[in-house]
Amino acid sequence: MTDVSGLVSSEAGGDEVVVDNCQLEIVRKYEIIPAVICSMCCLFGIIYCFFGYRCFKAVMFLSGLMFGSVIIFLLCHKERVLDTQLSVEASAGIGLGIGLLCGLVTMLVRSVGLFMTGLLLGLLLALAGLLVTQQFYTPTSVWVPLGALLGTGMLCAVLTLQWQKSFTILSTAVFGAAIMTVCADYFVEMLVLVMHMYDCLRLVPSPLPLCWYSWVILGIWPILSLMGILVQWKLTAEGFSHTEVIISRRQKRVQLMRIRQKEAKKRQQNGGQEGTYRRKPTPVKRYAGDLLAPSYLQSLRDRQMGTGTSLSSLGTGNQTMIDFDYETGSTAPLTATTPVIRV
């Protein structure tokens, strides 16, 4: 961060000379943990800005996680809990635990996630408006920025519930661009822009006015937001809807249940018939002699061999055969050469 002590220098005559802070060298002392966290947030910001609506569930979870973690961390770190001032590590642990619960709620309950997404959009827009207004007019009461934040946040939350896809794309693009802007501010000027915004919310005069490179970093925010909206609207979010995903899964389950019910009814109705048809033996080719008793055939052979092939024996045999055929229902002759005489 810029060294504030170098802004004002005293001369021998007691006159004070104000030095332009933009000409001072920024002292950058990066620490490992904040630098790693800032790098991860920059990656999340890219996903938010350009793939926010495509990764709907992940965005809902991360929105609840970051919102809950930041709020709880600030409350635990700034306020005394059970008459005890918590350390930064304890406050971060409590904030992370409650942030995980908030993330699960926003991911599983779609309406809560959309409400949180719209609320973040309203807070960011109100914060940008307050930062610009601060250059021309300073509010006298803290309720003015607080009311602007809450009012804009609730309005955007309601609009997000009404037009879900459009405002989700807008919110994710703006929020992702804001995260990347904060990361750039950390690596360039050690969060000078963030501290200036915090002082504007508290209505505390900032010790350092913003330099031109701070305004350049701030100008990255709307440019990245516009790019994210265009990329999502034309590429990543085109042809995709978070409502269709949920409906299609339900329809597949309902259709599968209906198919199973129809198959079960068909099996119950045609169960007996199908079982009989499957158990029916294959038809066997029958011959004329299959219906005659073996003893009767043997008696015929003995009678023909004993009496010869006279006409009377043939007539008797034929007459006997006719009677047997009539009784058994057979219409086929006993032999191919023996004529059948019907009476």
What pLDDT digit, counting tens, does each position of 97-149 carry? 998 999 999 888 888 888 988 998 999 999 888 888 887 877 788 888 888 88
Looking at 222, 248, 274, the residue that finishes a domain is 248
Answer yes or no: is 13 within a domain: yes
Looking at 224, 248, 272, the residue that finishes a domain is 248
User: Same structural domain for residues 133 and 21?
Assistant: yes
How far apart are alpha carbons 82 and 130 in whole angstroms? 34
User: Same structural domain for residues 157 and 239?
Assistant: yes
User: Helix 242-269 to helix 271-279 angle, to the nearest 10 degrees?
Assistant: 60
User: Same structural domain for residues 164 and 294?
Assistant: no
Answer yes or no: is 283 within a domain: no
Answer yes or no: is 272 within a domain: no
User: Same structural domain for residues 201 and 310?
Assistant: no
User: Same structural domain for residues 161 and 294?
Assistant: no
Q: What is the pTM of this model?
A: 0.62
User: Same structural domain for residues 175 and 298?
Assistant: no
User: Same structural domain for residues 297 and 242?
Assistant: no
User: Same structural domain for residues 125 and 64?
Assistant: yes
Query: Does the pLDDT value for residue 235 go beyond 90?
Result: no
Segments forming the whole domain that contains residue 317: 289-328
Q: Which of 137, 259, 252 is nearest to 200 (CA)?
A: 137
User: Same structural domain for residues 127 and 231?
Assistant: yes
Answer yes or no: is 72 within a domain: yes
- State the pLDDT at residue 6: 42
Answer yes or no: is 277 within a domain: no
User: Same structural domain for residues 67 and 195?
Assistant: yes
Q: How many domains does the chain have?
A: 2
Amino acid at 102: C
Answer yes or no: is 275 within a domain: no
Burial classification of residue 52, based on how many CB atoms lie within 10 Å of its CB (0-12 exposed, 13-18 middle, 19 or more buried): buried
CA angle 253, 254, 255 (to 5 degrees): 90
How far apart are alpha carbons 76 and 86 in whole angstroms? 7
- State the pLDDT at residue 248: 55
User: Same structural domain for residues 232 and 299?
Assistant: no
- Between 203-217, 250-264, 315-329, the lowest mean confidence (pLDDT) is in 315-329
* Res. 70 pLDDT band, cuts 50 70 90: confident
How far apart are alpha carbons 332 and 320 in whole angstroms? 14
User: Same structural domain for residues 296 and 231?
Assistant: no
- State the pLDDT at residue 223: 92
How far apart are alpha carbons 148 and 123 in whole angstroms? 8
Q: What percent of the chain has pLDDT over 90?
A: 8
Max avg pLDDT among 2-11, 162-171, 303-312: 162-171
Answer yes or no: is 258 within a domain: no
* Res. 4 pLDDT band, cuts 50 70 90: very low
Answer yes or no: is 121 within a domain: yes
* Res. 177 pLDDT band, cuts 50 70 90: very high
- State the pLDDT at residue 199: 81
Tens digit of pLDDT for each residue in 13-63?
444 555 566 766 677 778 888 888 888 888 888 988 898 888 888 888 988
